[in-house]
Amino acid sequence: MGINYESLDDVTRDYMLKESQLGGHYISPRLTEKGQMQWQSLLEEGIKSYSDDWIAQEILKHGYMLSHEQYTRSGITRSRNINKPQAAQQLAEGEFNRYYLRGLCLRAKAEGKDFLIVYRGKKVSQPRPESEQKIGTRVSVDTLLETLRTNDFVTIEDAIGIPGGPNSGLTCRIS
């Protein structure tokens, strides 16, 4: 189940699409070659009309996710299975949320608002205390937008200073 985006409507989607068309997309190495070639159009179709759940389903339906990946630990390279449904969901949620936040920043600025409010848009089984502390806080739209634009793979957690990685279920709404 994807993230509940409280401020997602046609206006926000238009801003998201504008941001997406600037390029600089994260291309996951977990995607097949065809999946990498289709990624931007798939993401933009999801932005226009669907959701992160739809993007994840499309990744799986079309076989765009690799079954294995290489990783190196302690100087030794190994192969491991990829949990395709989980990996597809994580990729779809992370990137959809990133463009949602970028679009929301533009919308907030156009409406004369300087901040977004952090909330948990998805229930998580073990919320980290650091992410719990961020709920309800205000985030500068200028800072958030700059951070999300200048890094091709940055999560909301990175952008608002939560250590420990993605999957917090956090996103923002207009204040």
pLDDT at 90 over 60: yes
pLDDT at 166 over 70: no
Q: Is residue 68 part of a domain?
A: yes
pLDDT class for 156, splitting at 50, 70, 90?
Answer: low
DSSP string for the chain = -----TT-SHHHHHHHHHHHTT------TTB-HHHHHHHHHHHHHHHHH--HHHHHHHHHHTT-B-SEEEEEETTEEEEEE--HHHHHHHHHHHHHHHHHHHHHHHHHHHTT--EEEEEE-S--SS--HHHHHHTT-EEEHHHHHHHHHH-SS--HHHHTT-TT-S---EEEEE-
Q: Write down the pLDDT at residue 125.
A: 81
Q: Is residue 37 part of a domain?
A: yes
Q: Is residue 1 part of a domain?
A: no
pLDDT class for 103, splitting at 50, 70, 90?
Answer: very high
Domain that holds residue 30: 10-174
pTM for the model? 0.91
Q: Is residue 3 part of a domain?
A: no
Q: Write down the pLDDT at residue 128.
A: 82
Q: Write down the pLDDT at residue 161.
A: 64
Q: Is residue 5 part of a domain?
A: no
Domains in the chain, number: 1
Higher pLDDT, 165 or 76: 76
